Structure 1
Amino acid sequence: MLSYTKFLIILAVAAAAPISGDSATNNSSEFIRRSCAATLYPDLCCSSLAPYGRAVQQSPAKLAVAAANASLSTIKAASSRAAALRRSSGGRLGAALRDCVDSLGTAAEQTRRSVAEMEKLGSPVVAGGPAAEAWRVSNAQTWMSAALTNEETCLDGFDGGLPAAKAVLDGVRRAKMYTSNALALLNVFAHGR
């Protein structure tokens, strides 16, 4: 009878394990949804960060890093699209695309720097205490804001519209939305510290 009781206990524990995982996933999803409410594009924020739920758990810092990494991916995609079109374009369109690729390259580097600053937070290797952490957060905010400015600079080069560049413009606008969300989440993290 004792082994039957042990069997039932083990079975109950094993059956409860997936529920705990689902609960953690639900908590992460809810955390992402609540956090994304502070952004200009909450639906995009939720859908782009949902895959990171398990890694992010309920950490505002990890969420901001995930958002910045998602932004970086969209910036790279927009830059690749602009570079491909630039190779076959001349005149005003070619010049606008060249400037856009340069601006997006700068935006990508600024986003990488923002991620690097955020990833140092809480690291025991990096000394300096709260003042150093506040400095890193401020740097990360500055880099993300600058990335957003460079994305806007890219779009400004197409002022007056160039229909051939529609796919590029759509990609840059999407990257701006991701970057805006990342900056908003970074600002929420900064103010909640």
Structure 2
Amino acid sequence: MLRFVILSLTLVTLINSSNIPKTAATPPTTYQNYETFVKTACNSTTYPTMCYNSLSSYSSTIKADPIKLCTTSLSVNLKYAKNATLVVSNLLKNAKFTSSPEVPVLKDCVEEMKDTVDELKQAMAELKNLNGGGISKKEHLKNVNTWVSAALTDDTTCTDEFDEGEVNEETKKKVEKAVSELSKTTSNTLALITNYLRF
């Protein structure tokens, strides 16, 4: 009986000691793996910190799926576009009220922002319809790339006009802040699409 007890205690000790390295080497949780995927993806963009900050909270939705990664990035991108449109639209209303010479430039910028919103929506529709529409995935992806590239061009066109037109410094700062954040997000989205969606 004593031998049995000693043998049992020895086995328990061996089992416990063998578990120590396994516990120390336990892989990170699934969620952490998803966060790593997002971080790695964002490292391929022009503004990786901004990319990770805007997408990390969606890690459990994105998982390690490139399509979900790009769809989520487009969705976040669209929020920035709507915000920039709102900022410029409000400035335009104020300018009209005071008959400011800024009106033409702001009006053009609002149109550029609205075009950006529409183009990002088109890109999202293409991405959601990868297996339909009578065209190949490759053609859908080409269309996505075209729409996002066009959105980025519109962002730049807006700020370029502010450099050329008659605009007061305060208005210019507000527009540049909103549109700059949008441009960076659009640039990141385009990088993710280019690097992670290939058919």
Q: Which residue of 2 aligns with 1:170?
A: 177
Give the Cα–Cα distance (whole angstroms) in 2 for the partners of residues 61 and 54 of structure 1. Answer: 14
Q: Which residue of 2 aligns with 1:100?
A: 109
Give the Cα–Cα distance (whole angstroms) in 1 for the partners of residues 133 and 103 of structure 2. Answer: 47
Superposition map of 1:122-137 within 5 A: 123=131, 126=132, 132-137=136-141
Q: Which residue of 2 aligns with 1:181?
A: 188
Give the Cα–Cα distance (whole angstroms) in 1 for the partners of residues 46 and 133 of structure 2. Answer: 35
CA contact (8 A) 2:116 2:155 kept: yes
Q: CA deviation at 1:94?
A: 1.6
Q: CA deviation at 1:117?
A: 0.7
* Structure exhibiting the larger radius of gyration computed from Cα positions: 2
Q: Structure 1 regions of 5+ residues with no counterpart?
A: 1-18
Whichever residue aligns with residue 94 of structure 1, its letter is V
Q: Which residue of 1 aligns with 2:67?
A: 61
Q: Residues 112 and 46 (structure 1 numbering): CA distance in 2 closer, same or farther, change over 3 Å? A: same
Whichever residue aligns with residue 188 of structure 1, its letter is N
Q: Does 1:32 align with 2:38?
A: yes
| SS of equivalent residue, structure 2 residue 162 | coil
Give the Cα–Cα distance (whole angstroms) in 2 for the partners of residues 85 and 132 of structure 1. Answer: 43
Q: CA deviation at 1:190?
A: 3.1
Q: Over aligned residue pairs, what C-alpha RMSD do you find?
A: 1.9
Q: CA deviation at 1:189?
A: 2.1
Q: Which residue of 1 aligns with 2:197?
A: 190
Q: Residues 132 and 30 (structure 1 numbering): CA distance in 2 closer, same or farther, change over 3 Å? A: same
Q: Residues 164 and 93 (structure 1 numbering): CA distance in 2 closer, same or farther, change over 3 Å? A: farther
Q: Deviations over 1:55-105 (max 9, x none)?
A: 110011110111111111001001101100111114432211111110000
Q: Deviations over 1:6-42 (max 9, x none)?
A: xxxxxxxxxxxxx99x712101100000001110000
Which of residues 154, 159, 162 is equivalent to 1:155? 159
Q: Which residue of 1 aligns with 2:10?
A: none
Q: Which residue of 2 aligns with 1:83?
A: 89
TM-score, structure 1 normalization:
0.81
Count how many residue pairs are aligned between Structure 1 and Structure 2: 168
Q: Percent identity among equivalent residues? A: 28
Q: CA deviation at 1:162?
A: 3.4
Q: CA deviation at 1:127?
A: 6.6
Q: Which residue of 1 aligns with 2:143?
A: 139
Comparing 171-180 with 89-98, which one deviates more in the overlay?
A: 89-98
Q: Structure 2 regions of 5+ residues with no counterpart?
A: 1-25
Give the Cα–Cα distance (whole angstroms) in 1 for the partners of residues 30 and 71 of structure 2. Answer: 20
Give the Cα–Cα distance (whole angstroms) in 2 for the partners of residues 127 and 97 of structure 1. Answer: 37
